[in-house]
Amino acid sequence: MKKALLIAALTAPFLTGCVIAVSDGEADTHWAGSSSSWQKQHKNNREVISNLALDTSYQTVLNKLNTPNFTELLKQGDDVYQVLFYATHSIHSDGKMTKDECTPLVFKNDKLIGVGDTIYKSLSNG
């Protein structure tokens, strides 16, 4: 028994493991590196979004901001609406990103038509 404990104690530092994380549909905001790296990402997203011009193409925005935290796609008549949600501010301290912590970018037929909750909410009202 003592021999098995000694072997286990001596080999433990050499063991490696794998961690598998499973998400419940919310984007994880634990970034590698310093604890403020998510804050830097939010700030960068706000800066890029504030410099976007109306009629910017969908692909141009994706190239500047990369993968959004959430997306929605809607077709009304002959028009296709795509909404990209980017993390810009933290409300909850739960380590998860939710849509209410994101800024929506609304595209109509691949062109940016608005930024923010007002334009996003107008889609459901119109």
Instruction: Determine the pLDDT at residue 21.
Output: 43
Q: What is the pLDDT of residues 34-51, one digit of tens each?
A: 457 878 889 999 999 999
Q: What is the pLDDT of residues 88-126, one digit of tens each?
A: 987 766 667 788 889 999 999 999 999 999 999 998 776
Q: What is the pLDDT of residues 52-77, one digit of tens each?
A: 999 999 999 999 999 999 999 999 99
**Domain residues of the chain, as ranges?**
54-125
In words, the CATH class of domain 54-125 is alpha beta
User: Between 62 and 7, where is the model more confident?
Assistant: 62
Residues 64, 124, 23, 88, CA torsion sign: positive
Instruction: Determine the pLDDT at residue 97.
Output: 79
Asked if the model's pLDDT at residue 27 lies above 70, the reply is no
Q: pTM, whole model, 2 decimals?
A: 0.69
Instruction: Determine the pLDDT at residue 24.
Output: 47
**C-alpha Rg value of the chain to the nearest Å:** 22
| Distance, CA of 84 to CA of 82 (rounded, Å) | 7
Cβ distance 96 to 27 under 8 Å?
yes
Asked if the model's pLDDT at residue 31 lies above 50, the reply is no
